Amino acid sequence: MAKVENQMLIIFGASGDLTSRKLIPALFDLYKGKYLPENFVVLGTSRSVLSDQEFRDRVVNNSKYLKERLNSHDEAYVKDFANKIFYTEIGKDYISEYNGLKERITNLNDAHGTDNNFMFYLSTPPSIYENIAKNLAAQELANESQGWKRLIVEKPFGYSYETAKNLNRGLQKYFGEPQIYRIDHYLGKETVQNLLITRFANSIFEPLWNRNYIHHVEITNAETVGVEKRGGYYDKSGALRDMFQNHLLQIISLVVMEPPIDDKAEEIRNEKVKALKSLRIMRDEETLLKNTIRGQYLASDFMGEQVPGYREEEGVDPESTTETYAAVKFYIDNWRWKDVPFYVRTAKRMPTKVTEVVIHFKSPHHHIFSESGIIDKDNKLIIRIQPDEGILIKFGVKVPGQGFKVERANLEFYYSDLSEKNVMNAYERLLLDAMQGDPTLYARADEVEAAWEFVDPILEYWKNGKDVKTYGYSSGVWGPQNADELFDGLYSWRNPGEQLADDPGFCEIH
Ligand code: BG6
C-alpha cells in the first residue's frame, strides 16, 4: 500500500448530511483499519456556529450513522478518533471571509504536524465551488511549494456540458487538473472496479468482448426508494442527471473501453475518455424519440404501504415532467462495438434495488439443435454490481433423456464467498485513494465533459422537443408499459430479482 502522508482534511459544508452519513463513518473505518497517518486532522467548516466539541458530538458521539460501530469499541478508542476532529465556522457566507479559516488551518498544522498537506473536500452546493477554490488560492492554500494541496468535489458536477466545462475551467484557474478529484461513488464500489479485472485479467472473456460475439448490452440501475427528502434538488435534476450522466456512464465507459497499456491512472482514464467520446450522440428528434423513454412514478400500494406519486413529493412541482425513470438505447461508433445496441435504464420506485450489467451473447451462427437458439436461452454474462454482488454465466446444457433438448444452467460466483471479507465501502476506498494521491477512481475533466456531451441533447429534447412524453408507472413495477419498445426484435428488459440467480419474473410476495 502506498504510504499515507501526514495530512489535514478540510471539509466544506461540514454541518450537512454527507459529512455525518458518509465521510466521518468512512474515516472511522479507515481509523479502525489503521490506514490513517500518524498525524491526521479533520477540520470541518460551514456557516453554522459550533464548537469543536459540539461538532464531535454531532458527527461522532451522538451520530446515528456511527452508533452501531461505536458500540463495539471502548470510550478511549472512540475519543482518540474524535479528538482528531475540529471545527471552525466560515463566516456568514463562503464568499469572502477566509482569514479565520486560514489561521485555524495554520494553527492546527503547526500543533499536529500535518506537514502542510491539505485536502479540501467540497460538500457544498456546486454553485460556490469556484468561489471556494478562488478564496483558497488567494490564501495560498492551493500552492504546493510546501506540502501538496488537493481538492475533492462532490457531484453534481455541472448541470449541462456548458456548465460542467465552465466549472472545470473555473476550478483549473486555481488548482491544476492533477490536484482536482471529482468523486463518483460508483467508482468506489468493488464490483465496478472488478469490471476491469473481469475484462482484462481473463482470457476467456476479452476475446469475445466485441461485435462478433455480443448481441447487445443491457444495464439496469433500479432503486425501490422514491426521491425521499430530496424533492427540491431532484426536480431540477431528474434521473438522467442524477444517475446516468455520472454513475452509469462511468460503468459504461468501463464496459466499452479498449485495454489500457497498464493500470496507471492516466492510461485507464485516457481509455475511458476515448470510450465516452465514441458514444454516438443522438441529435435529431426522430432518433431521440425512438431511443429514449422517460417516466415518472405514480402513487400506489408499494410493499404494503401507500406511497405518494412523484408529483406529490415535498419540493416537487405538482406539474413536473422530471423523469424518475430514464431508459436510453444507443450505439457506439468504433471498431469494437459497431451495430451493438446498448440498453441502459435507471429508475426509482422499482420492484427491487439492483444494479447489473448483462452481456447478451449472439446465439451460435449455425443451429444444430432445433431448440438451442431461442431468445431467453442466449448465453449471458451477468455482472451484479449490487446487491448480492457476483457474476453469473448462463450457458446451455443438455436436458437428460433422448434427443438434444437444451436448457440454461447457471455458473455463479459470489463476493460473499471470498475469504477476504473486509470489503471497503465506496467512500472509505475513495477517501483513502485521494489521501494517497491516486486519482484512478476519480473522474477527469474531459471524462465529465464527454459524458455531458452525450447527455445534453437528450435533456434538451426532453425539455423542448415535440412529441415528448413523460409516461407514468405505478410504484413497484418495472417502469412504463412501453418500456420494452426500445428493444429490437423479440428481446426485452431482463427484470432481475433480489438475488443474482433469481430468474426474471421472479417475485416475492411481502
Ligand atoms: C446518488 C443519487 O448519487 O446515488 C441518488 O443522487 C441515488 O439519487 C444514489 O439514490 C444511489 O447510490 P447507491 O450506491 O445506493 O446505488
Taking only the tens place, the pLDDT of each residue in 189-198 is 989 999 999 9
Instruction: Provide the Cα torsion 164, 165, 168, 169; round to 10°.
Output: -150
Q: Is 397 helix (H, G, I), strand (E, B) or coil?
A: strand
Any domain includes 381:
yes
Domain identity same for 345 and 264: yes
49-53, 364-368, 391-395: lowest mean pLDDT where? 364-368
Please count the structural domains in the chain.
2
Residue-level pLDDT at 287: 96
* Angle between helix 426-436 and helix 24-32 axes, rounded to 10 deg: 70
Residue-level pLDDT at 372: 53
Domain identity same for 60 and 201: no
Hey, which of 223, 224, 230 would you mutate to test ligand 1's pocket, going by the most ligand atoms within 8 Å of its Cβ?
223
Q: Using a CB cutoff of 8 Å and minimum separation of 24, what contacts does 331-337 make?
A: 331/280, 332/256, 332/275, 332/278, 332/279, 332/280, 333/278, 333/279, 333/280, 334/278, 336/209, 336/210, 336/211, 336/256, 336/258, 337/210, 337/211, 337/256, 337/278
Determine the structural domain holding residue 383 and report its residue range. Answer: 187-486
Q: Which of 185, 247, 366, 367 is catalytic?
A: 247
Domain identity same for 150 and 194: no
Position in ligand 1 atom list of the atom nearest CA 221? 16
Domain identity same for 198 and 124: no
Is the pLDDT score of 376 beyond 90? no
Q: Return phi, psi of residue 499, to 5°.
A: -100, 150
Residue-level pLDDT at 3: 83
Residue 247 annotated as catalytic: yes
Residue-level pLDDT at 69: 87
Domain identity same for 59 and 137: yes
Taking only the tens place, the pLDDT of each residue in 65-89 is 999 888 888 999 999 999 999 999 9
Residue-level pLDDT at 485: 92
Any domain includes 169:
no
Domain identity same for 435 and 304: yes
Q: Which residues touch 414 (CB under 8 Å, ≥6 apart)?
A: 388, 389, 390, 500
Residue 168: closest CA among 158, 160, 183, 159 = 158
Residue-level pLDDT at 299: 94
Residue-level pLDDT at 368: 79
Is the pLDDT score of 439 beyond 90? yes
Is the pLDDT score of 508 beyond 70? no
Q: How many CB atoms lie within 10 A of CB 299?
A: 15
8 A C-beta contact, residue 446 and residue 272: no
Is the pLDDT score of 460 beyond 80? yes
Any domain includes 492:
no
Residue-level pLDDT at 52: 97
58-62, 372-376, 487-491: lowest mean pLDDT where? 372-376
Is the pLDDT score of 445 beyond 60? yes
Position in ligand 1 atom list of the atom nearest CA 242? 6
Any domain includes 166:
no
223-232, 267-276, 283-292, 396-405: lowest mean pLDDT where? 396-405
Domain identity same for 136 and 192: no
Any domain includes 1:
no
CATH of the domain at 128: 3.40.50.720
Taking only the tens place, the pLDDT of each residue in 27-38 is 999 999 999 999
Q: Establish how many alpha carbons lie within 13 A of residue 401's alpha carbon, considering only the half-sphere containing its beta carbon.
A: 4
Question: What distance in angstroms lies between residue 242's CA and the mean position of ligand 1's atoms?
Answer: 8
Question: What distance in angstroms lies between residue 222's CA and the mean position of ligand 1's atoms?
Answer: 10
Domain identity same for 242 and 122: no
Arithmetic mean of pLDDT, 139-161 = 95
Domain identity same for 227 and 87: no
Is the pLDDT score of 509 beyond 70? no
Domain identity same for 453 and 391: yes
178, three cell numbers: 492533477
Q: Return phi, psi of residue 295, to 5°.
A: -145, 170
Hey, which of 242, 297, 430 would you mutate to test ligand 1's pocket, going by the most ligand atoms within 8 Å of its Cβ?
242
What is the percent of the chain with per-residue pLDDT over 70, rounded to a whole number? 97
Q: Average pLDDT of the chain?
A: 93
Burial class (CB in 10 A: 0-12, 13-18, 19+), 350: buried
Domain identity same for 191 and 114: no
CATH of the domain at 443: 3.30.360.10
242 lines ligand 1 (CB under 6 A): yes
Domain identity same for 389 and 338: yes
Any domain includes 309:
yes
Q: How many CB atoms lie within 10 A of CB 472?
A: 16
